[in-house]
């Protein structure tokens, strides 16, 4: 048996918002995930994107404490078709130890396979902030080590994230065990194990990215903590969705990543 996880940066309140929202909901419905991790969800005095998504999809949700810019909030969330209980909502640090405006939210989800911890996060975006992202992913790893339970018996932590970093950066190499990180935990990158092709989630062909200075890049990840009891959490298939729409309107400036992972049954 398997569980389907989807992660997506929804591009806040930018661009042709109303048209994008319809495409976002339609895409999620087509994928039909069991668990959805989102970044850059927004609300204002009139609307709450997370509430709108939860209502449209009949999902429950746990969110980060929102940060407000010009009257609109910005945050991350975990949604699921099953009951959700928030475990943590933490500010992530910068390299110098000061708090950043980035956060991670974790939730225990009452799946048919037992309680299962999931998290959603979004690291600093600037291309020259690798040191900050190293500090942030290190903290996510420390927290995930607490959330996972007994690594020999319990289900792993699954993280959906916009890490704003490509696979050969210091931050991703640390997260996936290629360089020293946090004792007792690393993450499996589901795309590396079960994806096909580049896995790019930031595309120059997207109309919102056409003027970007950056090349096509893989920035978004579904990660599964290790060690874990075999074969629970092993990815079966990983793919991207969210390409295009009508009249050059795409759902977001990022593609979503979807992964089917083994529940061990």
User: What is the full per-residue pLDDT of the chain (265 aa) written as tens digits?
Assistant: 999 999 999 999 898 988 999 999 999 999 999 999 999 998 887 788 999 999 999 999 999 987 777 778 889 999 999 999 999 999 999 999 999 999 999 999 999 999 999 999 999 999 999 999 999 999 999 999 999 999 999 999 999 999 999 999 999 999 999 999 999 999 999 999 999 999 999 999 999 998 888 899 999 999 999 999 999 999 999 999 999 876 789 999 999 999 999 999 7
Q: What does the alpha-carbon distance between residue 166 and residue 156 come to, in Å, rounded to a whole number?
A: 23
Report the DSSP pairing between strands 72-80 and 35-41.
antiparallel
Q: What does the alpha-carbon distance between residue 31 and residue 57 come to, in Å, rounded to a whole number?
A: 11
Q: What does the alpha-carbon distance between residue 83 and residue 101 come to, in Å, rounded to a whole number?
A: 28
User: Around Cβ 132, how many Cβ atoms within 10 Å?
Assistant: 23
Domain 2-262, CATH class in plain words: alpha beta
Both tokens of 136, joined, read 């942030």
The reported pTM is 0.97
Dihedral sign (CA 169, 171, 177, 180)? positive
Query: What 3-state DSSP class applies to 107?
Result: strand
Alpha helix ranges (H) inside 148-217 = 170-175, 190-194
User: Around Cβ 165, how many Cβ atoms within 10 Å?
Assistant: 27
Which has the closest alpha carbon to 77: 25, 10, 31, 29? 10
């Amino acid at each position: 048996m398997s569980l389907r996880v989807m992660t997506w940066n929804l591009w806040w309140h930018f661009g042709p918002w109303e048209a994008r929202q319809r495409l976002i909901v339609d895409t999620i419905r087509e994928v039909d995930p069991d668990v959805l991790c989102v970044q850059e969800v927004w609300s204002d005095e009139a609307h709450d994107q997370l509430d709108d998504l939860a209502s449209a999809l009949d999902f429950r949700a746990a969110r980060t404490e929102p940060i407000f810019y010009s009257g609109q909030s910005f945050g991350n969330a975990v949604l699921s078709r099953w009951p959700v209980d928030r475990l943590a909502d933490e500010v992530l640090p910068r390299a110098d130890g000061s708090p950043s405006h980035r956060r991670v939210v974790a939730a225990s989800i009452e799946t048919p396979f037992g309680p299962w911890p999931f998290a959603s996060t979004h690291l600093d975006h600037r291309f020259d902030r690798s040191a900050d992202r190293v500090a942030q992913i290190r903290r996510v790893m420390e927290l995930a080590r607490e959330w996972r339970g007994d690594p020999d018996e319990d289900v792993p932590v699954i993280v959906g994230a916009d890490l704003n970093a490509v696979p050969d950066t210091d931050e991703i190499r640390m997260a996936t065990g290629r360089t020293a990180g946090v004792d007792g935990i690393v993450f499996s990158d589901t795309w590396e194990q079960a994806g096909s092709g580049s896995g790019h989630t930031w595309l120059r062909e997207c109309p919102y990215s056409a003027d970007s200075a950056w090349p096509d890049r893989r920035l978004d990840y579904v990660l599964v903590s290790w060690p874990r009891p075999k074969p629970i959490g092993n990815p079966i298939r990983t793919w991207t969705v969210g390409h295009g729409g009508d009249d050059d309107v795409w759902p977001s400036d990022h593609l979503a990543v979807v992964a089917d992972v083994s529940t061990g049954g």
